[in-house]
Amino acid sequence: MLHSKREVVSPMLSRIDAQASESHTRRNMLRLAMLGIGTLALSPVVAYAGAAPAAIGKVPILTSPRTLKFRVMWDGDDIGHHVTTITPSADGQGMTVGTKIAMKVKVGFITAFRYEHDSTEVWHGGSLQSLVSKTYDDGDDLAVKGEATASGFKAVGPKGPFIAPAESLTTNCMWLPTLVDEKKLIDVQNGVMVSLVSKPLGTDRVTVRGKDREARRHSIRTPFVAGNLWYDQAGNWVRSRLEIKGETLEYKLAT
């Protein structure tokens, strides 16, 4: 488990010893960022900014570029960012969705944990066409690559090849408010299909860039993550809170 700020001021030798014994818990906690995480939605679906109805599949194609940048906070400290960039294709029928996550937890002068994720998804006609992702998870290098085929979405991850249904969403689809309606997702870090359980928790007032707005909250749970996510009345992802073993990661929308 990550140390609190009070523990950080203890002698350096104690911090280093505790770091070694708790690295496994830190690894599990930072994996939450994949679904952030970060990981939800409005029901029924509303037309959020820049979106058009899906041509074939379930994912609406955005008609203008969009970037969502969240600061990731732990115990009041800024430990990194999660950025989603959506670029529509020239023909208006597809888009490229990029996800970049970088987190670093320091204990004094020691880097206790480092996590980086970089993925690119290509969507066309509302369906996932290709996926390439690389993840550095506290010493572990992970990679996932896949493409759409006639028999489903075929991919290869750290645990080997697998086939997902053609209409599958990924764990990086946090920008999409209908994610909470899914029962299965493609885990873009671990290269496996994961189950998703979600529950609506009502409406809250959420501060976004200094202004209050109404947002609907869902709890979510997969084999790797549990937490809450908020979407405003326009279907925009505006906040996340992810929890494990008493620790909390907060996503705060920056841009």
Candidates 239, 241, 238; CA nearest to 220 is: 241
Q: Spell 91-128 as b/e; 16+ CB within 10 A means b.
A: eeebbebebebbbebebeeeebbbbbbebbbbbbebbb
Residues 6+ apart with CB under 8 A from 83: 67, 68, 69, 70, 98, 99, 100, 101
Other CB atoms within 10 Å distance of the CB of residue 7: 12
Other CB atoms within 10 Å distance of the CB of residue 162: 18
DSSP for residue 2 = P
Helix axes 23-30, 12-21, angle to 10 degrees: 70
Q: Is the peptide bond before 44 cis (omega within 30 degrees of 0)?
A: yes
Quick one: tokens of 66? 């969009």
**The pLDDT value given to residue 166:** 94
Q: Please say whether the beta carbons of 120 and 131 come within 8 A.
A: yes
All structural domains of the chain with their residue ranges: 5-253
> Could you list the pLDDT tens digit for every one of the 255 residues in the chain?
444 444 443 444 344 344 444 544 444 444 444 443 433 322 233 334 445 444 457 898 888 999 999 999 988 899 999 999 999 999 989 999 999 999 998 888 898 888 999 999 999 999 999 999 999 988 889 999 999 999 999 999 999 999 999 999 999 998 999 999 999 999 999 899 999 999 999 999 998 888 888 999 999 998 888 889 999 999 999 999 977 546 678 999 987
**The pLDDT value given to residue 51:** 52
Quick one: tokens of 118? 């970089």
Quick one: tokens of 80? 């990194």
Helix (H) / strand (E) containing 217: strand 211-221
